[in-house]
Amino acid sequence: MSPSIAETSRPLRIGVSACFFHADPERPVFKGKTLLYAEESMLDLVGRAGALALLVPRPAEGGPSIDAYVDLLDGLLLEGGSDVCPRTYGEEPQRPQWEGDEIRDRYEIELIHAFHDAGKPVLGICRGIQILNVAFGGTLHQDIATQVPGSADHRNWDIYDDNRHEIDVVAGSRLADLYDGAGRVTVNSIHHQAVKDLADGFVVEARSSTDGIVEAMRLPGERFVAAVQWHPEFTPRDGTDQIPPEPMIDDFLAAAASAATGVHVGPRVASGVASGVASGVES
């Protein structure tokens, strides 16, 4: 059965949550100013699929609200970066270096709930799975190495995204379906925090093969909310043994197209509709 998409109007618009460089009087560039930024590979991941990646700022006082951005955009992508502050999930940092970024936490949690309430899809990457879990009431391991005995090395600064391990994908899960029933696959690993208590309503879709750390989760239901702990945007595009990013990104963009048009669009045609929001239906 071949897909049939009617005339398209505009590319999908995907909001990317910002990373923060907070005001620093010692910084040689933009001294004492707050910088919001995105890692380029994340923007490229969206762009290669044919959609527009747009950085979402914190709303300015007296300016457009978060709801204005939600109205403009078709989905939300939460990127990696700084730690989630333990206070955001009701704990105190056990070490000063685990203080995290409480300001970014509040900004992203507001975005998450605004997009979810509007029925627009949310996909979390690395820190994104952590802040999603916290936003819906879950908690985190502040540091895997000290809080999970016998854990694997989930972060190695020297080799960075060349640090890899295997994960076990839950049979029958949506993630397994996207990867043709794959059971054990390889991913990169660049994190020291992780999901501890899973938020109510979510299901685990993958765990680290070595230590059981949550590597993927999803909120079942009509509204798309899903996340992975690895960085699909860092996966090499050729000759890699790592799980490819395209199936999960296509699935996310299909949900964005469906939310934008009010008609179902399957992930197998998502790359076609990302460059133009469909006004027709799939057949």
Positions marked catalytic: 126, 231, 233
Interior CA angle at 178 toward 251 and 52, to 5°?
25
- Residue of 131, 123, 126 whose CA lies nearest to 219: 123
Read off the DSSP letter of residue 242: B
- Residue of 184, 180, 185, 213 whose CA lies nearest to 198: 213
Asked if 132 and 116 count as a contact pair (C-beta separation under 8 A), the reply is no
Amino acid (1-letter code) at residue 69:
Y
Residues listed for the chain: 283
**What's the gap between Cα 151 and its chain centre?**
23
Asked if 230 and 187 count as a contact pair (C-beta separation under 8 A), the reply is yes
Amino acid (1-letter code) at residue 65:
S
Asked if 188 and 242 count as a contact pair (C-beta separation under 8 A), the reply is yes
**Helix, strand and coil in the chain, % to nearest 5:** 30, 20, 50
Q: What are phi and psi of 30, to 5 degrees?
A: 50, 55
Alpha-helical segments (H) within the chain: 40-48, 66-72, 102-117, 127-135, 144-147, 174-178, 246-261, 270-274
Read off the DSSP letter of residue 220: -
- Residue of 175, 276, 280 whose CA lies nearest to 224: 175
